[in-house]
Amino acid sequence: MAKPIALAADHGGFELKEAVKAHLDELGLAYVDYGTHSTASVDYPDMAVPACEAVVKGESDKALLFCGTGVGISMAANKIKGIRACCCSDSFSCEYTRRHNDANALCMGGRVVGPGLACQLVDIFLNTEFEGGRHQRRIDKLTALENR
């Protein structure tokens, strides 16, 4: 059975997370929702950590993260060893961050992208494979930077 997708959002991304959850439900894909569970104000680093740790621990293969812009939560996620998070609002970047960067966290802004585009980006992110090859060498250099 596929591992559940790790989800997290702050208040700025809460509604988009809920829309993406409905999409995942329609697709029959399992997820774990690490919050937040309302529009009450929270801090995006606090929300990013448990979802990203689930990925690092191997409990999930990928995380979908949301804040107002997608930027803050991507910054938080990229501080966590083993996470390669991208903030995307276009399909080209979303496809290539999987193909070339082996991104394991997709971050989107609830104040930037609508639910239709967000769900389309989720589909691309979940269904695009890493190409490996010369790109693996670059990922290895990212990992070396983390360990510096």
- Catalytic annotation, residues: 67, 100
Residues 4, 8: Cα–Cα separation, whole Å = 13
Of 34, 68, 88, 104, the one binding ligand RB5 (CB under 6 A) is 68
Interface with ligand RB5, residue 12, by CB under 6 A: yes
Beta strands 31-33 and 85-87, pairing class: unpaired
Find the part of the chain contacting ligand RB5 (CB under 6 A) among 17-25, 27-35, 66-74, 80-88. 66-74
Task: Decide: residue 13, CB within 10 A, 0-12 exposed, 13-18 middle, 19+ buried.
Answer: buried
- Give whichever of 27 and 50 is closer to ligand RB5, judged by the CB atom: 50
Interface with ligand RB5, residue 60, by CB under 6 A: no
Q: How many residues belong to the site for ligand RB5 (CB under 6 A)?
A: 8
Find the part of the chain contacting ligand RB5 (CB under 6 A) among 55-63, 65-73, 80-88, 92-100. 65-73
The dihedral built from the CA positions of residue 133, 134, 135 and 139, taken in this order, carries a sign that is positive
- Give whichever of 29 and 117 is closer to ligand RB5, judged by the CB atom: 117
89 phi and psi angles, rounded to 5 deg: -135, 15
Q: Concatenated DSSP letters for 3-57?
A: PPEEEEE-TTTHHHHHHHHHHHHHHT--EEE----SSS---HHHHHHHHHHHHHT
Interface with ligand RB5, residue 14, by CB under 6 A: no
Of 14, 31, 34, 44, the one binding ligand RB5 (CB under 6 A) is 44
Q: State the minimum distance, in angstroms, from the CB of residue 2 to ligand RB5.
A: 29
Whether the CB-CB separation of 93 and 73 falls below 8 Å is answered with no
Contacts with ligand RB5 by CB under 6 A lie at 10, 12, 44, 67-69, 71-72
